[in-house]
Amino acid sequence: MANRSCHPGATSQIGRAIAVAALQIALAVPATAQTARPASPETSPDAQGDGERKWFVMEDRPSLRLGDALRLDLTSKIGLTVRAAPDQDTDAEMEQRRIGVDGRLFDVVDFQIERELGDDEQPWRDVFVELRKWRAVRVRGGRFKVPFGQERLTSISDLDFVHRSIASEALTPGRDTGVELNGRILARTVTYMAGVFQHDGDVSRGGTDAPGGRTVAARVVSTPFAGASSRALQRIEVGMSMTTGDVPEGLNGLRARTSDQYEAVAPVYVFGTRLRFGADAAFTNGPLSVKGEFLQTRDERKRQGLRDEDLPDVVARGWYVSATSFVLGRLKSNGSAPRTPLLGGGIGAIQLAARVESLEFGSHAPGVEALRNPRAANLLPNDIRALTAGVNWFPVRFVKLQLNVIREHVEDPERRPDPSRPWGTTGLFRVQFAL
């Protein structure tokens, strides 16, 4: 039932990725040196032009300018992850090789184009345009992340861990093509996002890989104590998300994989409506940050029984709580670089991270024998629980190194990578360059 995904050719990609990374570092070092100096970009030796109108600026990233009419920031993200587990070959994979452009037109239209190199199936990541005339109402159209799940909406290069939580990976929709309204209201204490999307996202495909139907999604994030006198309270952020849409008939239930890519939860037959709900909270104070999220997905199973009968909904629930703390050095307020970089007299910034998480799949059919088959009225529940401990090192701007050790438990012995081992251990190491 279960299988282990692999990444053929990943090792052969490493050479090319290192070349791209070297190019990035070549670009990054002058920029790092530049940040060590208080010079403004406009007077930087990298700036080229006639003094009044610069057409190339090297700030956080290379930027092309056409007066006030157009700004084009070049972006790039490269992530190499090495995975090691007992009794398995160590596996290296280029998880990210992205290039892109962030732009702004006449200070009214934002746009973003990002492409994953080496992904032949779906190379485009974000490709959207956003009308940003008013802060309270902005309109975005194109391909971008469906607004569901705090962690899913965080770029992988900004995650506190090498990978997202198992629940986020399994239950959130990812990117799709659609239209969204978003904005900040009530004195900027509430941010909202609401959109209609063609399908159900590109990461929530089931066994047949058939896309879901039209999906409506909404998310609200609030800082409920923004007016409080305590700065700690002011930084508490809570969010709620939901999606609803049609899920096509077939083996299209959601799946879940462990950190070593073992499919511990295989798709089941579904048909009807998929309803998601999410709640999250985050708190940051000084070097400490705490985040938590609860996610639930409910899929209908109309006429999916052996004799065409309706089956009880399949329900997946997951949560995580994570905490990080800088123990050495800090990042700058915009989070882009360490305050004392490795090449600037310090060693960068070092952060410790820990996460506890759980994901459970099942259905509610009292009095019916719980079974593993994908048309079972009472699906035999399967829980995945995991503990992650990690260290993040930010030596210089653009560069992050992460080390995670994950202890995972799959409840059902028959759906474990190794049935004889209740707990599995995986080590992940990631080197990331993000421009």
Partner 1 sequence: MRPRTPRFLGSLIAVFLALAALHAQTPPAPRLTPDDLFDPNTVHDIHLTVSPRDWAELKERYRENVYYLAELRWRGEVVSNIGIRSRGRGSRSEAKPGLRLDFNHYASGQQFLGLKSIVLDNLTQDPAMLKERVVMRFFTEMGMPAPRVVNARLYVNDEFAGLYAIVESIDKDFLKRTLNENDGYLYEFTHTDPYGFEYLGSELERYAEFFEPKTHERDSMASLYRPIRELAWAVSESPDSMFVSSTNEYLDVRAFLTYVAVENFLADRDGMLGDWGMNNFYFYRFEGKNVSQILPWDKDSSFWAVDYGIWTNMEANALARRALKEPPLQRVYLEALRRCAELALRQPEPVPGIARRRSVDETPLQPGWLEREISFVYSQIREIAKADEAKPFSTERFEDEMAKVLEFSRARPRYILHETEQR
Q: Interface residues with partner 1 (CB under 8 A)?
A: 1, 249, 269, 304-308, 371-376, 414
Asked if 353 contacts 327 with a C-beta cutoff of 8 angstroms, the reply is no
For the bound state, the minimum distance from the C-beta of residue 257 to partner 1, rounded and expressed in Å, comes to 20
**Cα distances (Å, whole numbers) of residue 190 to 184, 227, 356:** 6, 12, 28
Comparison of 334 and 420: residue with beta carbon closer to partner 1: 420
Instruction: Report phi then psi at 434, rounded to 5.
Output: -130, 120
Bridging pattern class, strands 270-285 and 237-250: antiparallel
SS3 assignment, position 293: strand
Q: Is 50 left (phi over 0), alpha (psi -120 to 50) or beta?
A: alpha
For the bound state, the minimum distance from the C-beta of residue 369 to partner 1, rounded and expressed in Å, comes to 8
For the bound state, the minimum distance from the C-beta of residue 113 to partner 1, rounded and expressed in Å, comes to 38
For the bound state, the minimum distance from the C-beta of residue 418 to partner 1, rounded and expressed in Å, comes to 10
For the bound state, the minimum distance from the C-beta of residue 408 to partner 1, rounded and expressed in Å, comes to 21
Bridging pattern class, strands 370-371 and 378-379: parallel
Comparison of 21 and 311: residue with beta carbon closer to partner 1: 311
Comparison of 120 and 308: residue with beta carbon closer to partner 1: 308
Comparison of 42 and 309: residue with beta carbon closer to partner 1: 309
For the bound state, the minimum distance from the C-beta of residue 414 to partner 1, rounded and expressed in Å, comes to 6
For the bound state, the minimum distance from the C-beta of residue 371 to partner 1, rounded and expressed in Å, comes to 5
H or E element at residue 248 = strand 237-250
Comparison of 230 and 373: residue with beta carbon closer to partner 1: 373
Q: What residues contact 82, with CB distance under 8 A and at least 6 apart?
A: 90, 91, 92, 93, 428, 429, 430
Comparison of 89 and 120: residue with beta carbon closer to partner 1: 89
Comparison of 102 and 310: residue with beta carbon closer to partner 1: 310
H or E element at residue 257 = strand 256-257
**Cα distances (Å, whole numbers) of residue 72 to 102, 107, 111, 199, 363:** 6, 12, 9, 30, 49
User: What is the C-alpha to C-alpha distance for residues 75 and 114, in angstroms, rounded to an integer?
Assistant: 8
